[in-house]
Amino acid sequence: MAGKGGANPATYSPSPTIQKKKAPLFKEDWVRPDGRGFHQCRPAFFRTGAVNAASGSAYAEFGNTKVIVSVFGPRESKKAMMYSDTGRLNCNVSFTTFATPVRGQGSDHKEYTAMLHKALEGAIILESFPKTTVDVFALVLESSGSDLPVVISCASLALADAGIMMYDLVASVSVSCVSKNLVIDPIFEEENYQDGSLMITCMPSRYEITQLTVTGEWSTPKINEGMQLCLDACAKLAKIMRSCLKEAASDSKE
């Protein structure tokens, strides 16, 4: 029996005998692999209080994308930090080794970490916890497309669960441009063949965008269409998140 680390031999995961047909998948009259309409999101499931050890936490499940976010604090900032009369936000996003179809290293995701930080920082009232730090840690249990938007929405719910003051909940949705169609809430296969993507993070009640990224070539009308799709979906998502919070609050009262 092999020990862990070090001397493990090289391994590979067996591939299926029939290679999936790639190109025909996204021809003109294609249907999405999971049978959704182009403008239809995956069913979203949220639950707060997933981790008891944290001050606040939330679990989110969009199709096969599953995420847990824990919030710790406000707690003492690191010793090396200088005095600050506003609070600090510290984020981290990591993946499990089994999150992706091929076993990964389970390491931190620097890009997502930075994006999560930017998406949330505009929504949190940092003045409400001076000199201290709020830590937002996310773990992607299973990754199956649109990971970052799910992490962001789940993190804002965890912040609410921890009682951190925010201007509004933050909801995030992305659309992919796949062979001339805009598809909302793309799954892994669609993201791999996308020509472009647009992700919006917004505070729906304030109607403000906190984070926006676009890749690929977009004409002006298409950007308008994509943004509108995302904003509408964000508003719907925020309703689901809000009802999840209300449910949790009424449960604890009983």
Partner 1 sequence: MVGLSLGEQHFIQGGIAQDLRCDGRKRLAYRPISVETGVIPQANGSARVRMGATDVIASVKAELGKPSLLQPNKGKVSIYIDCSSTAEPAFEGRGGDELSAELSTALQRCLLGGKSGAGAGIDLSSLVVIDGKICWDLYIDGLVVFSDGNLLDALGAAIKAALSNTGIPRVHVAAGASSDEKPEIDVSDEEFLQFDTSAVPVIITLTKVGKHYIVDATSEEESQMSSAVSISVNRQRCICGITKRGGAGLDPSIILDMISVAQHVSEQLINKLDSEIASAEAGDDDES
Partner 2 sequence: MGLPNASDDLSSEMEVDAFRRLFPLRFFERHLAESIRPDGRPLGKARDTSVFLGAVASANGSALAKIGSTTMLTAIKMEVMTPSLESPDEGCIAIDFHMPPICSPIVRPGRPAEAAPVISKQLFDTISSSGLVNLKELSLVNGKAAWMAYLDVYCLDADGALFDAALLSAVSALSHLQIPAVAINDDGKIVLMSEEDGQKQAQEQVNKEKRKLTLKSIPFSLTCILHKNYILADPTAEEESIMETLVTIVLDSSGQLISLYKPGGSVLAHTSALQDCVALTRQRVKELKSILDEQNSVMEIEQD
Would you call 80 helix, strand, or coil by DSSP? Answer: coil
Tokens of 112: 């997502």
Of 71, 180, 89, which Cα lies nearest the Cα of 130?
Answer: 89
- Residue 13 binds which of partner 1, partner 2, none (CB < 5-8 A, kind-dependent): partner 2
Length of the chain: 254
- Residue 14 binds which of partner 2, partner 1, none (CB < 5-8 A, kind-dependent): partner 2
Would you call 187 helix, strand, or coil by DSSP? Answer: coil
- Residue 103 binds which of partner 1, partner 2, none (CB < 5-8 A, kind-dependent): partner 2
Instruction: Pick the closer one to partner 2 by CB: 69 or 177.
Output: 69
Q: What is the DSSP string of 220-234?
A: HHHHHHHHHHHHHHH
CA dihedral over 23, 26, 28, 30, signed as positive or negative: positive
Instruction: Pick the closer one to partner 1 by CB: 49 or 122.
Output: 122
Interface positions with partner 2 (CB under 8 A):
1-4, 8-18, 50-54, 57, 64, 68-70, 72, 75, 92, 94, 96-98, 101, 103, 106, 108, 135, 137-139, 141-142, 144
Measured at the alpha carbon of residue 212, what is the angle toward residues 56 and 75, in degrees to the nearest 5?
25
Rounded Cα–Cα distance for residues 175 and 199 (Å): 6
Instruction: Pick the closer one to partner 1 by CB: 51 or 169.
Output: 169
Interface positions with partner 1 (CB under 8 A):
110-111, 114, 118, 121-123, 167, 177, 191-197, 202-203, 206-220, 223-224, 227, 231
- Residue 54 binds which of partner 1, partner 2, none (CB < 5-8 A, kind-dependent): partner 2
Least separation in angstroms between residue 66's CB and partner 1 is 22
Rounded Cα–Cα distance for residues 128 and 64 (Å): 36
Instruction: Pick the closer one to partner 2 by CB: 6 or 221.
Output: 6
